Chains A and B, each alone.
Chain A
Amino acid sequence: MHELSIITSLIEQVGQICKEQGKDCVSKIDLRIGFLEHINTETFLFMFEQIKEGTCMEQAKINLIIEPIKIHCRKCLNVYEPEDSIWICPHCNELGGEIMQGTEIILESIYFDDN
């Protein structure tokens, strides 16, 4: 259910940018979601449909880009995408590592109709 807080925050942020750009509404956004954020995309889009009415995103399409986890191995410095939830470097078998990608939700771009 954290999807709802994220959508509310997203609509507020997009609204702020609309103001800065002197626009009333957006036509599309690109949204990058890290796999580790545990966002259920169906729930996310369903909730968005429920609360978008009357906001600057009422007509907006959301282009969701799910980013896989990328781990930086501390031992051999290899960067890999773990195949399951035990993070073992396929190169040297070291456990764990630093997360390079997969833990953020980023509003990447906003599109406005030109007319």
Chain B
Amino acid sequence: MKVDVVQKVLKANDDIAKLVRARFDEYGISCINMISAPGSGKTTLIETALKQGLSGVRIGVIEGDPETTRDAERIAKYDVPVVQINTAGGCHLESQLVLQALDKLPLDAIDLLIIENVGNLVCPVGFDLGEKSRVAVVSVTEGQDKPFKYPRLFQTANIVILNKVDLLPYVPFDVEEFKQGVHGIQPDVPILHVSCTQGDGVEQWVNWLKGQADKQTNE
């Protein structure tokens, strides 16, 4: 006997992501999900924004890593609510983990929740965490071929950060080829060049983050 089903296999994750999204709506929280390879500078991008200040936008952070609370400790120095999720080897965050983390955050004191996913360009991409926007980060030391090799991330990103651009004079990174790769998948996605150490693009990064929070308030 054959039974036709036609059901998404990650339905369970998607259903919980809907609950997470409903919680965000209830508290007027805008959420972004940052995805990149390990070491591309996600935590430093968050720290840089916190240092700069987001003029009145209250930030919360969820850090995802296989092990340790190192990232959460870095963020806690800026006196913002932060929860560390340890996946114990797991290669991506799932909506269930985020839902549990929400219980540890003061949701009525957060306007913008930044989720730093586990460093990985493949696995996190298929798992909706209830976010409003997705940030893809690539640092110039990783090579310009990433959009060609990992198209799904660049297809789902709302903004692409090209990070550590201060190193461009020292590494053979072809910016034009990178742009062609990204825009060959998503022609209109903005690509922001950032150097957290030299300050390039930091203002635009902070403004983009503020824009995410404002959007939620205006809706």
Task: Name A's B-contacting residues (CB within 8 A).
Answer: 1-2, 5-6, 9-10, 12-13, 17, 21, 31, 36-38, 74, 84-88, 95-96, 99, 103-114
Taking a contact as CB atoms under 8 Å apart, the answer to whether B6 and A106 are in contact is yes
Q: 28 A-B pairs, CB-CB below 8 angstroms?
A: A1-B91, A2-B124, A5-B13, A9-B9, A9-B10, A9-B12, A10-B9, A12-B12, A13-B12, A17-B3, A17-B5, A36-B155, A37-B152, A38-B122, A85-B149, A85-B181, A86-B180, A86-B184, A87-B184, A95-B184, A95-B187, A96-B187, A99-B155, A103-B152, A105-B8, A106-B9, A107-B5, A110-B2
Taking a contact as CB atoms under 8 Å apart, the answer to whether A5 and B94 are in contact is yes
Partner of A13, one of B11, B186, B187: B11
- Distance from A112 Cβ to chain B, minimum over Cβ atoms (Å): 5
Partner of A31, one of B9, B125, B184: B9
Determine whether B183 belongs to the interface, using a CB cutoff of 8 Å to chain A: yes
Closest A-chain residue to B181, C-beta based?
A: A86
* Contact partners of B184 in chain A: CB under 8 A: 85-88, 95-96
* Contact partners of B2 in chain A: CB under 8 A: 109-112
Q: How far is the CA of A108 from the CA of B152 in the complex (A)?
A: 22
Taking a contact as CB atoms under 8 Å apart, the answer to whether A109 and B4 are in contact is yes
* Contact partners of B11 in chain A: CB under 8 A: 9, 13
* Contact partners of A17 in chain B: CB under 8 A: 3, 5
Closest B-chain residue to A37, C-beta based?
A: B126
- Distance from A92 Cβ to chain B, minimum over Cβ atoms (Å): 13
Partner of A107, one of B7, B147, B151: B7
* Interface membership of chain B positions 141-183, coded 1 if the CB is closer than 8 angstroms to chain A and 0 otherwise: 0000001111110010000000000000000000000001101
* Contact partners of B181 in chain A: CB under 8 A: 85-86
Determine whether B208 belongs to the interface, using a CB cutoff of 8 Å to chain A: no
